[in-house]
Structure 1
């Protein structure tokens, strides 16, 4: 709300009023007899007023006083060009002569806007990278441009493809001086997931053959969704092995494959204990073990925000997961919170 109030300045209101008046005038012009007599000249005038004049007003009255990024001005120009295409009648000369060139102009402006956004993302990433891991820095740089939800979705899609295509070439991503907290070596998680994938492939093939007799298009989309699910599980397995959780002197960094991640200050942990079976469901509890029984239970002083796949978030007050060496993990963590 504060950002909205900052944007609603007297100059912004003046720009909105002038733009609405200009659109009304140009809309009336397209219905005059003068437009019918000289459609080319009048159309060029309407385009100039709606695109160039409006964009200039936005820059001088809104973008420059508020120090908005140049991408906002380009976006306004693209929107006004689209509005002009709706206001002007669909005459033959417009579709054959002008709109192909305007389409090229729109594409060029869109690419320029994307270039500005990429530049902002890269600069933000370089600023954040020394302070956090690569994934968190990338998430922060994307969130600054697209917002938290969109950034989470982009990260989710990107991580899935990244680990499926390049994960086998990666080394274990644990910072120097920290202690890795692995979850796959003794739990049998990888073997269970591989077995699940084998069964899933067989079932998907059978379902595809059955659905294909009824509707080939439905069979295609169901199979495509299944294949995407397989890729997600493969990426999660690779990330679990190559990108385990780790413990530092000040924080516990939770990374459960491509599913959940969080950075937890050690003083925020009230208790940590060994367990041998999955506890009963409770509000604010997250089950971090996948297809296996958990071996450790953490209780937090206050709910911790966990980031999940595709922008999902959850406030967690109790966490269970399967640590490969629960005795050593509990002892090390108790030393930091005791």
Structure 2
């Protein structure tokens, strides 16, 4: 119900905002603006700086329990858009808005700096020798922000930045008393990434040149999107190399690249089986999660559902986890041994 409501409210916001923007732009370019320049410039300014941010808050942010301060950057964006579109004769109103917005934006900036300081303090408090930096960051963000959705999204973006740029001299993450199982050496994911990156680069350049004939902004937005996808691929593969599946007597730590991450208790595992490509149960896939593109060879069935975080911080509740592992039979034997031990305790 909530995702549907969020989509409807977002659609209403986009529709109403586009109508307001298009209407105002037509008015600014029309003869009406010349007849009553000052009054119309005030009305248009209020639409961009006040009305649209308020719509965003009441239709979208308030439903997600976000604070009003979160819409302040959009007021600044509205001001910048107006400064670029309003005629020079209407810029007087913007001067008043500018000197009103500057103190508010400074307050917002101070608030953000304070939040960054809190994250840094919590990170130092949570970081210990042998702890994983991304998991430490997650705990620090959870202690700073109340909303799990924004925390998961921030952790996802930080993971992409960390694995794509800062992880090249790091060693795989291991834990004492845990068996590790890799999943990147025998899969075709690296080849797939290289092929997709090649397509994105070659076709991206061609499409960029074509779009430049119509819109420079659209061309650069598309190109930056392609670059982000390539960086995402690089980060995912680096995360795969550095985060093997870890199996201990208490739990299984799964961080499958940046595609999925979770912990599952050994006591909560119903079965671990090696499967073939044709054995995927389509009817059960709604309550399952699996790697992108790669055909899985291991199925973990759970007694009760767990929450798995996957791409872009999205949370999914599942009772089946599909994986591809380099040595699936060894993984099955190790899990079965620990499950048997757990049952005898």
In the alignment, the residues of structure 2 paired with residue 228 and residue 333 of structure 1 have an alpha-carbon distance, to the nearest angstrom, of 37
Give the root-mean-square deviation of aligned CA atoms.
3.0
Q: How do residues 273-284 of structure 1 correspond to structure 2 at under 5 angstroms?
A: 273-277=273-277, 279-281=280-282, 282=284, 283-284=286-287
In the alignment, the residues of structure 1 paired with residue 101 and residue 207 of structure 2 have an alpha-carbon distance, to the nearest angstrom, of 44
- Indicate conservation of the 8 Å contact 1:143/1:150, yes or no: no
Corresponding position of 1:336: 338
Summarize the Cα distance change of 1:209–1:141 in structure 2 as closer, same or farther, 3 Å threshold.
Answer: same
Pairwise CA distance, 1:110: 4.5
Pairwise CA distance, 1:273: 0.5
Pairwise CA distance, 1:235: 0.7
Q: How do residues 41-60 of structure 1 correspond to structure 2 at under 5 angstroms?
A: none
Corresponding position of 1:296: 298
Pairwise CA distance, 1:210: 2.4
Gaps of 5+ in 1: 1-71, 79-91
Q: Are 2:288 and 1:285 equivalent residues in the alignment?
A: yes
Corresponding position of 1:255: 255
Summarize the Cα distance change of 1:222–1:113 in structure 2 as closer, same or farther, 3 Å threshold.
Answer: closer
Which has the higher Rg, Structure 1 or Structure 2?
Answer: 1
Give TM-score, length-normalised by structure 2: 0.64
- Indicate conservation of the 8 Å contact 1:270/1:299, yes or no: yes
CA deviations 1:9-62 (Å, max 9, x no partner) are xxxxxxxxxxxxxxxxxxxxxxxxxxxxxxxxxxxxxxxxxxxxxxxxxxxxxx
In the alignment, the residues of structure 2 paired with residue 151 and residue 261 of structure 1 have an alpha-carbon distance, to the nearest angstrom, of 14
Pairwise CA distance, 1:129: 3.8
Give TM-score, length-normalised by structure 1: 0.65
- Indicate conservation of the 8 Å contact 1:272/1:296, yes or no: yes
Summarize the Cα distance change of 1:103–1:292 in structure 2 as closer, same or farther, 3 Å threshold.
Answer: closer
- Indicate conservation of the 8 Å contact 2:142/2:151, yes or no: yes
- Indicate conservation of the 8 Å contact 1:148/1:311, yes or no: no
Gaps of 5+ in 2: 1-66, 73-91, 341-345
Q: Which moved more, 1:183-192 or 1:310-319?
A: 183-192
Summarize the Cα distance change of 1:197–1:104 in structure 2 as closer, same or farther, 3 Å threshold.
Answer: closer
- Indicate conservation of the 8 Å contact 1:164/1:231, yes or no: yes
Q: How do residues 118-157 of structure 1 correspond to structure 2 at under 5 angstroms?
A: 118-130=116-128, 133-146=132-145, 147-157=147-157
- Indicate conservation of the 8 Å contact 1:161/1:235, yes or no: yes
- Indicate conservation of the 8 Å contact 2:132/2:173, yes or no: no
CA deviations 1:141-196 (Å, max 9, x no partner) are 21232321111111111111111112222111122332222111112321222122
Partner of 2:306, secondary structure, is strand
Q: How do residues 161-176 of structure 1 correspond to structure 2 at under 5 angstroms?
A: 161-176=161-176
The count of corresponding residues between Structure 1 and Structure 2 is 248
